[in-house]
Chain A
């Protein structure tokens, strides 16, 4: 018997984090993610955790850095402008090999952008979460339930890899209320605290030094960079996640993640009713990107790929193009700036493409 609740996406993420064993949160107010800190401000103390409202996003991510160094499952959340400020700390987490989870409930951009939802941070999340050429695994849920499931397991990946994990979700999904089935509370003990953590537990007689640092000699740093490269490669074979929808006979394949994938699915169902062979590939991990499934499509049948995103211009385009290799055209459709995708808009755009323009006026 699950624990079903009608919950806002942001609150669901917060509760899932607590049940995943998260016991530290630091963050700074920014719309549209405010429910996450608000929820955790009362929820974490209930389970013996700590909540700090930081003086800035910069401070908050560094508080997370400190808590993560103690082996505590730590979380921070923000939206685009705040994620830019967290870039420093995320890079340091990667450098010091510290696990933590960072959530971006994204909005219109660039700059202050708009407070309304947009998928404007794909490139930041997948290519440059900070300086120095590192990557974090990036999960992109498309429902409150999937957000719960991914956040619930996020620290397992982070601790396995000793690397930050990033959750990218737009303001629609952050603010939507849906029914979610909450998983049970993970009970973590002292034995679950990683051995590298700077705690003093269990060994008062310890005679060795515990230290964590993002500073290395040239040779060590080169070695760590190379190891990171190997890790990213292994993610591609071991950890890539995506959903296929009506793909088998598809002549047109929509690639969309997050909220865009749901609006696209609705449009695809309508097009199927009219006999159009349209399918969907939905990346769930944006990094590692599901390269193979796009690369291995049967391009003797597939007439076009359609990149649907709630941002302009489409940011996934280059990642798709590297797999399509000019074997078919890549179309784009999107809305941006906080203007939302809608069922009819996506349907009309897809229809225009799959009907070869014959529906134009």
Chain B
């Protein structure tokens, strides 16, 4: 199975981090993955986008035109990339910033208040983990266990509270994603 993901939003919203952790988790599960970031020239606040391809086979091209899963964190990115998801794909939007996402036929739309959940969890930097949680809940692309291991590895040298906060964010994301499981 091959699945592609585009994460988009503005710099500082955890877009790149979400892509890398997802790809890393897939690799930890023994799958193949590519992660390709695209930056604007701005260091802060510019547009941020990354493409992740995950597959059981070695990945030939890392540059799909349309993705299976489009994750959008703000209105600007939504307007720019909304047509880049395949028919039958998943559109995951941050409902705190995108009020009325396209509901074209065949698209599974997940509208989640990612910013609000991040505040609930206590850190707006947890948005990326929430996004992955939702994807884990809604699809089987990576396992919860593999991703937890990736998080443990990533935060092993940080203060203990950071890992717990991220695991909490992950749980909330997964719970939300499960409601959208097909």
Contacts and interface: CB of A to CB of B under 8 A. Distances in A.
B27 A172 contact: no
Contacts of B64: 342-344
B32 A342 contact: no
A342 B36 CA distance: 13
Interface string A114-135: 0110000000000000000000
Given A172-B36, A176-B34, A342 B63 contact: yes
Nearest to B61: A266
Contact of B36 (A6, A115, A176): A176
Contacts of B60: 262, 265-266, 269
Nearest to B4: A343
Contacts of B122: none
B1 to A, nearest CB: 16
B136 to A, nearest CB: 19
A176 B41 CA distance: 18
Given A6-B27, A115-B39, A115-B41, A179 B33 contact: yes
Interface in A258-287: 259, 262-263, 265-266, 269
Nearest to B40: A115
Given A177-B20, A344-B66, A262 B36 contact: no
Nearest to B32: A179
A104 interface: no
A194 interface: no
A344 B37 CA distance: 20
Interface in B36-67: 36-39, 41, 59-66
The size class of the interface chain B forms with chain A is: 20 to 34
A341 interface: yes
A358 B42 CA distance: 44
A263 B35 contact: no
A177 B63 CA distance: 13
A343 B39 CA distance: 21
Given A6-B23, A115-B39, A177-B23, A172 B33 contact: no
B69 interface: no
A273 B61 CA distance: 17
A340 interface: yes
Contacts of A177: 20, 23, 33-36
Contact of B35 (A116, A176, A344): A176
B63 A172 contact: yes
A178 interface: yes
B24 interface: yes
B65 A344 contact: yes
Given A115-B39, A115-B41, A343 B33 contact: no
Contacts of B59: 178
A116 B37 CA distance: 10
Interface string A178-216: 110000000000000000000000000000000000000
A341 B60 CA distance: 14
Contact of A263 (B32, B34, B41, B61): B61
A79 interface: no
Contacts of A175: 36-37
A341 B35 CA distance: 16
Given A172-B36, A263-B63, A343-B64, 15 more contacts: A31-B41, A115-B39, A116-B38, A172-B62, A175-B36, A176-B62, A177-B34, A178-B35, A262-B63, A265-B61, A340-B63, A342-B65, A343-B65, A344-B66, A345-B65
Q: Which 5 A-B pairs give the minimum distances between C-beta atoms?
A: A342-B65, A266-B61, A344-B65, A177-B35, A263-B61
Interface of B: 20, 23-24, 27, 32-39, 41, 59-66
